[in-house]
């Protein structure tokens, strides 16, 4: 087997299915080109949807409304608990309700620029167009967005933009949007349009004659492994941030579905594009199991600072104003505390690396509301951010109304994911990926309040239009035979893996391996990456993998509710995905967005893109575990937003 870093460059990806013509008309063009399925025939088609977050919940409900038979899965006990629920700040839409110069074109422009020119223009423009319909849809469902006294919707600002286009429901926007999708899905479950399997986890994809025709899934209560068949499979399984162990992701969010699909032929794009969110609560010790995000909306009114002097360990309120460095306001006067996430995170890391960090271990910066409380009054601050302040106090035992919050960056979102074309189809015909599970819209850095927008755009509007075209062109009249070799192979591989995990009976817990790979990734594939560090990680990962299969200990059996087995099984996939992330980060010898290569920076320390060499999406094809993958490049063409070095100064 060739060395993992000796990857080969294969055929470029040339057809994205995005139509030609003016960017504002492409979505209409594509919808008109797409073949349709007659309403009476839709019920004859089964679509599997894996995941019930914003993308999956919205897609399942909408496909069932159209008349398709939907079979849907979530590993949680209820679809309402998918991790979209935890999104706090808001959802963007180009409504221009503030009359502050916003437009679809501006949201498109901001998103392409915010993504550091590594996203596909056609997709981003469609996202901006659909953003306005999403708000309408959610209000119709009863989502209780914040309103003003006149009864109309309120807005706020988020990082990387100069308009107020973010709709919100206090600090629980994700929860409220998810409940809207969950309730729409519940209506379809009640009417029989959706067959829901909760506490059931997808463990493999079934590809028959080159087309995705089903999945292998494990009932997490009984341990039973079953196969489910369909005419198309939709993955809405979220991101892979948990490869870092400590992240703001829910404990059970995982990469297994997308990684198994990748192993079955779906290309994985830009795996190294990880978002490190600047405003998380710093860790307190080795027991830490996850990190908690403080919504970016806090940067609307909070001011970020550190002491000017190194090693200044006085309490915040003893540091006089002229000895504080409001470094974001100083370096980026135009955007101030509202610079995009990648820039805010890196700036925090820089001041901490200089020895000016605050709190335990110097791994933190202040987010101070004293000025806001003085300006708006405590009551107004409480109304805007009350629940976030309460959460902060509960976790840290400090009162943010009197003592500045301490924050530090943490892994939050993954822009990379399964490569999809304009129709959201992966490279396996019949397999679609939506929401965070795909790679398409955020380039190398996602702007705040755009994840909810993309999840719902994909789920409510894009996929339900584009999947028609596939189903109309592939009217599967056959049912998949259980005894087909491809089915038997997928089931056998799943069973073998579970049996192997249970039989090693070593001396290390699943969590200990997860922590180890997570720490390695944070060290070498985190906020700043170097060739040297990435090569170290790439040498170490196969060793951890080998040790894993020698020393893992999973108590209990496979025929029962077994959370240790669930964890261990997910770690197997992290140990392969981590390798691809490091390789992708190594091969992309430029800095862009959240991917910062120390070797590629401007004289003043900003990320330096190298467009001549890297203006492409990197879509990787799997070959074998530990075997060098094949790189397929999709060249990115910018006709409307011309690449410039991003400036927020």
Q: Whole-number minimum distance, CB 527 to other proteins, in Å?
A: 22
Report the residue from 51, 53, 60, 79 that binds other proteins according to the rule CB under 8 A: 79
- Give the range of 136-144, 430-438, 575-583, 619-627 binding other proteins by CB under 8 A: 136-144
The answer to whether residue 95 forms part of the interface with other proteins (CB under 8 A) is: yes
Residue among 65 and 611 whose Cβ is closer to other proteins: 65
Report the residue from 111, 176, 200, 274 that binds other proteins according to the rule CB under 8 A: 176
The answer to whether residue 39 forms part of the interface with other proteins (CB under 8 A) is: no
- Which residues lie below 8 Å from residue 488, measured CB to CB, with a gap of 6+? none
Element (H, E) at 278: strand 274-280
The answer to whether residue 243 forms part of the interface with other proteins (CB under 8 A) is: no
The answer to whether residue 475 forms part of the interface with other proteins (CB under 8 A) is: no
Q: Are 68 and 47 in contact (CB under 8 A)?
A: yes
The answer to whether residue 15 forms part of the interface with other proteins (CB under 8 A) is: no
Structure tokens at 583: 């390789």
The answer to whether residue 386 forms part of the interface with other proteins (CB under 8 A) is: no
Output the CA torsion 307→313→317→321 (10° steps): -20
Element (H, E) at 538: helix 531-551
User: Cα separation of 499 and 223, whole Å?
Assistant: 12
Angle at the Cα of 122 from the Cα atoms of 121 and 124, rounded to 5 degrees = 65
Nearest to 63 by CA among 464, 434, 466, 469: 464
- Give the range of 10-18, 130-138, 233-241, 486-494 binding other proteins by CB under 8 A: 130-138
Q: Whole-number minimum distance, CB 172 to other proteins, in Å?
A: 7
Report the residue from 42, 83, 197, 597 that binds other proteins according to the rule CB under 8 A: 83
The answer to whether residue 601 forms part of the interface with other proteins (CB under 8 A) is: no
The answer to whether residue 186 forms part of the interface with other proteins (CB under 8 A) is: yes
- Binding to other proteins, residues 499-538 (CB under 8 A): 507, 509-512
Report the residue from 153, 225, 472, 630 that binds other proteins according to the rule CB under 8 A: 153
DSSP per-residue codes, 262-273: HHTT--EE-TT-
Q: Are 269 and 99 in contact (CB under 8 A)?
A: no
- Binding to other proteins, residues 283-302 (CB under 8 A): 284-285, 287-290, 292-293
The answer to whether residue 65 forms part of the interface with other proteins (CB under 8 A) is: yes
- Give the range of 73-81, 351-359, 428-436, 585-593 binding other proteins by CB under 8 A: 73-81
- Give the range of 269-277, 363-371, 421-429, 556-564 binding other proteins by CB under 8 A: 556-564
> Which one of the listed residues 118, 126, 213, 341 is annotated catalytic?
341
Nearest to 414 by CA among 564, 638, 585, 169: 585
Structure tokens at 514: 């997860």
Residue among 397 and 604 whose Cβ is closer to other proteins: 397
Residue among 542 and 558 whose Cβ is closer to other proteins: 558
Nearest to 202 by CA among 384, 56, 339: 56
Q: Whole-number minimum distance, CB 405 to other proteins, in Å?
A: 15
- Which residues lie below 8 Å from residue 201, measured CB to CB, with a gap of 6+? 73, 75, 217, 218, 220, 256, 566
Report the residue from 6, 38, 152, 642 that binds other proteins according to the rule CB under 8 A: 152
106 annotated active-site: no
| Start-to-end C-alpha separation, the chain | 48
- Give the range of 43-51, 147-155, 610-618, 631-639 binding other proteins by CB under 8 A: 147-155
Q: Are 438 and 273 in contact (CB under 8 A)?
A: no
Residues belonging to the active site: 341
């Amino acid at each position: 087997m060739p060395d993992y870093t000796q990857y080969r460059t294969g055929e470029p990806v040339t057809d994205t299915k995005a139509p030609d013509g003016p960017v504002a008309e492409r979505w209409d063009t594509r919808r008109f080109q797409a073949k349709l399925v007659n309403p009476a025939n839709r019920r004859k088609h089964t679509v599997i949807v894996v995941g019930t977050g914003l993308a999956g919940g919205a897609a399942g409900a909408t496909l069932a409304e159209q008349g398709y038979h939907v079979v849907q899965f979530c590993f949680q006990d209820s679809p309402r608990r998918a991790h979209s629920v935890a999104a706090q700040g808001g959802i963007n839409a180009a409504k221009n309700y503030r009359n502050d110069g916003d437009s679809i074109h501006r949201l498109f422009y901001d998103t392409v620029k915010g993504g550091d020119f590594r996203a596909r223009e056609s997709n981003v423009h469609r996202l901006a167009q659909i953003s306005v319909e999403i708000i309408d849809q959610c209000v119709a469902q009863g989502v209780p967005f914040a309103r003003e006294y006149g009864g109309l919707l309120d807005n706020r600002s988020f990082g990387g933009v100069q308009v107020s286009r973010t709709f919100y429901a206090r600090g629980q926007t994700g929860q409220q949007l998810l409940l809207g999708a969950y309730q729409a899905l519940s209506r379809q479950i009640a009417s029989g349009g959706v067959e829901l399997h909760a506490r059931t986890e997808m463990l493999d994809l079934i590809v028959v004659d080159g087309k995705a025709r089903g999945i292998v899934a494990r009932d997490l209560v009984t341990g039973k492994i079953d196969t489910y068949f369909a005419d198309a499979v939709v993955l809405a399984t979220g991101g892979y941030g948990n490869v870092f162990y400590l992240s703001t992701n829910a404990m059970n969010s995982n990469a297994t579905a997308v990684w198994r699909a990748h192993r079955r032929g779906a290309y994985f794009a830009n795996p190294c594009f990880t978002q490190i969110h600047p405003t998380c609560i710093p860790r307190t010790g080795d027991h830490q199991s996850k990190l908690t995000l403080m919504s970016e909306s806090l940067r609307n009114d909070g001011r970020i600072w550190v002491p000017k002097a190194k090693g200044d360990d006085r309490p915040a309120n003893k540091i006089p104003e002229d000895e504080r460095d409001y470094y974001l306001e100083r370096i980026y006067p135009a955007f101030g505390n509202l610079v995009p996430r990648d820039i805010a995170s890196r700036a925090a890391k820089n001041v901490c690396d200089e020895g000016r960090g605050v709190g335990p271990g110097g791994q933190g910066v202040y987010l101070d509301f004293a000025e806001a409380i003085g300006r708006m009054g405590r009551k107004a601050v409480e109304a805007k951010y009350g629940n976030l302040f309460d959460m902060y106090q509960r976790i840290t035992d400090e009162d943010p109304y009197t003592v500045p919050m301490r924050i530090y960056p943490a892994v939050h979102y993954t822009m990379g994911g399964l490569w999809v074309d304009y129709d959201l189809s992966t490279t396996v015909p019949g397999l679609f990926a939506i929401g965070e599970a795909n790679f398409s819209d955020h380039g190398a850095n996602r702007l705040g309040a755009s994840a909810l927008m993309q999840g719902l755009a994909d789920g409510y509007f894009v996929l339900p239009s584009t999947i028609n075209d596939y189903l109309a062109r592939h009217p599967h009249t056959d049912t998949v035979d259980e005894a087909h070799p491809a089915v038997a192979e997928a089931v056998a591989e799943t069973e073998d893996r579970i049996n192997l995990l249970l039989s090693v009976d070593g001396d290390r817990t699943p969590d200990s391996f997860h922590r180890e790979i997570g720490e390695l990734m944070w060290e070498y594939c985190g906020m700043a990456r170097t060739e040297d560090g990435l090569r170290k990680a790439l040498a170490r990962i196969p060793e951890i993998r080998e040790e894993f299969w020698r020393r893992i200990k999973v108590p209990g059996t496979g025929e029962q509710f077994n959370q240790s087995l669930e964890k261990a099984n997910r770690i197997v996939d992290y140990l392969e995905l981590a390798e691809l992330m490091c390789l992708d980060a190594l091969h992309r010898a430029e800095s862009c967005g959240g991917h910062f290569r120390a070797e590629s920076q401007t004289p003043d320390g900003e990320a330096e893109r190298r467009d001549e060499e890297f203006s492409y999406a990197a879509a990787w094809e799997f070959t074998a575990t530990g075997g060098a993958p094949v790189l397929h490049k999709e060249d990115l063409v910018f006709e409307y937003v011309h690449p410039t070095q991003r400036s927020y100064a």
